[in-house]
Structure 1
Amino acid sequence: MATEHIKIFSGSSIIVRGLQNLLDDNKIHYIIKDNFESARLAGFGEQMNAVEVHILSSDKQKAEPIVEKYRKEINS
């Protein structure tokens, strides 16, 4: 059985940590892809908001309302 991950959010590491807590509370498994830290370790530059949150495509419907609510909170 193949599992497919999709990107649902990107931002700075601090902002992503808030979303991680919400996903943990709702038992949604995720993968964090930190392009900023990877680039820093390799000696390259990258934008600070280059941290991505990926979830299983099967969790998309469950995660979308959580992500939308979180976006509204951080943008207000």
Structure 2
Amino acid sequence: MVKCRIKKGDMVEIIAGDDKGKKAKILRVFPKTSKVLVEGCKVVKKAIKPSDKNPKGGFIQKEMPIHISNVKKAEE
């Protein structure tokens, strides 16, 4: 477990991966797995089954967590 210096609501810059260079806000931090959920980064399409909420099923766009080493605090 890595000590996190990044908190929910902080502005960060992505320093590695497909979204390199983007600046966005932290939505959630997962300290046990050393991952963070960043707004609008690493977006995937996920298939969902039909349910009461969504009777047709289909696809949703969802952000996936990225490793904390791939982000740094953005300078304001």
Same fold (TM > 0.5): no
Higher relative contact order (CA 8 A, sep 6+): 1
TM-score, normalised by the number of residues in structure 1: 0.23
User: Between Structure 1 and Structure 2, whose CA radius of gyration is higher?
Assistant: 2
Q: Under a length normalisation based on structure 2, what TM-score does the superposition of the two structures give?
A: 0.23
- In terms of fraction of residues, the more strand-rich structure is 2
Structure (1/2) with the larger helix percentage:
1
